[in-house]
Amino acid sequence: MTFARSDKEVTPFVAERYVGEAVSFSRNGFKVMGRIHKILENSVIVELSDEDALLIGAKSNLTVVSHKNYTVRSNSQGNR
């Protein structure tokens, strides 16, 4: 049995995000920065430096962050 996927309206904040955009977020008491690797419906996958991944205890340099839990760096230089 399968269920039809419901189309969810995308907020203006999420609609403006793009791969490569710099973001920051806090995890385990540390503020870290990374770049958006992939945009999902409720979150983004962020690519971190190996040092920041180790700092926050991530198992790799990719981590999932809810759209509610990151901020966009004003000086992003990503590729649109």
Cα–Cα distance between 3 and 71 in angstroms, integer? 33
pLDDT tens readout for residues 50-79: 999 999 999 999 999 999 999 998 764 544
pLDDT tens track for 4-18: 777 778 899 999 999
Domains of the chain and CATH, by start? 12-72 (2.30.30)
Q: pTM of this prediction?
A: 0.82
Residue 75: the pLDDT is 60
Count Cα atoms within 13 angstroms, Cβ side, for 50.
0
| Between 10 and 38, the higher pLDDT residue | 38
**What pLDDT is attached to residue 62?**
98
